[in-house]
Amino acid sequence: MANITRILDGNIEGLFFVDETCIDCDTCRQLAPEVFTDLGDYSVVFHQPSSDSEVRNSTQALLACPTGSIGTTEKIDTHSVMEDFPLPLDDGIYYNGFTSKHSFGASSYFVKHPEGNWMIDSPKYMPHLVVKFEAMGGVRYIFLSHQDDVADADRYAKHFGAQRIIHRAELRAQPEAEVVIEGREPVRFNSDFLVIPTPGHTQGHCVLLYKGHYLFTGDHLWWSRNRKTLNASRSVCWYSWTEQTRSMELLLGYEFDWVLPGHGERITLPAATMKEHLLRLIERMHSNAK
């Protein structure tokens, strides 16, 4: 729970504040960009909510914060806002919220599918989410993009009897995973889901393409709100920038109009526009390799 005595410099006085336990994961800035901003190593409130929708968005950010670093100076209704999660993003696609400090606040997602629902990476284990997932038909598969973002996947898998999917090079993070991806060839699960190995950020990093529209990218690819384009970062590439660049080039062979990352901003654009941004990113990545 956030502590007003530990409030960070830079917060505008008012209802919401961020304290010094913030880990700068970007969750609050994604959910309420009109209220929270980045001051380099942490987030602060730069504009207090001035409408009911801004209060609700800020409360969603408070609930989703992995470290409980967002607080309020007076009591607010968090119970009704909790019912917003998982947040619908598109038809059958949801953002789970309740990010985990064990995955540095990585976003996770839920896909409702007639042949069995999917969780993409894992949120914090929350009874609220369990009830919501049960009401939507449970979880059949848990796709884990890489070792950094597994969070409480094992607890969700145990509860739902779900099969966890992870690459062998990441298996130490979930050694009892039920489905292990080998090598670098894409693996199809029915006609709608395609697991694509994308080594670079980590050795066994993978992305998941759903219906040729939705690309769940883990920590491989995201939208930069500052650059206004697709982005990847050499500073958070733990395995090989050269491999990550090759993996990015591999994605040119696929069509998608959504990028849904673990870290970084989500974006939807026409597929042709998305490919243009991807090409520019690859050019920058090659330049950064020098």
Q: Domain spanning 4-72 has what CATH number?
A: 3.30.70.20
Place of tokens 């609050």: 28
User: Hey, what CATH topology would domain 85-288 get?
Assistant: Metallo-beta-lactamase; Chain A (3.60.15)
Whether pLDDT at 290 is above 70: no
User: What residue ranges do the domains of the chain occupy?
Assistant: 4-72, 85-288
Q: How many Cβ atoms from other residues are within 10 Å of residue 210's Cβ?
A: 23
pLDDT reported for residue 6: 97
Q: What is the mean pLDDT of residues 135-146?
A: 98
What tokens appear for 246 in the block? 């090759």
pLDDT digits (tens, 9 = 90+) for 3-57: 999 999 999 999 999 999 999 999 999 999 999 999 989 999 999 999 999 999 9
pLDDT reported for residue 1: 83
Mean pLDDT over each residue of the chain, to the nearest integer: 97
Q: How many Cβ atoms from other residues are within 10 Å of residue 12's Cβ?
A: 13
pLDDT reported for residue 208: 98
DSSP code, position 12 = P
pTM > 0.95: yes
Give the residue, 288 or 286, on which the prediction is more confident.
Answer: 286
pLDDT digits (tens, 9 = 90+) for 221-270: 999 999 999 999 999 999 999 999 999 999 999 999 999 999 999 999 99
pLDDT reported for residue 289: 78
Determine phi and psi for 141, rounding to 5 degrees: -130, 145
d(Cα 201, Cα 234) in Å, to the nearest integer? 9
Place of tokens 């917060």: 11
Q: Crossing angle for the helix pair 127-135 and 153-160, nearest 10 degrees?
A: 40
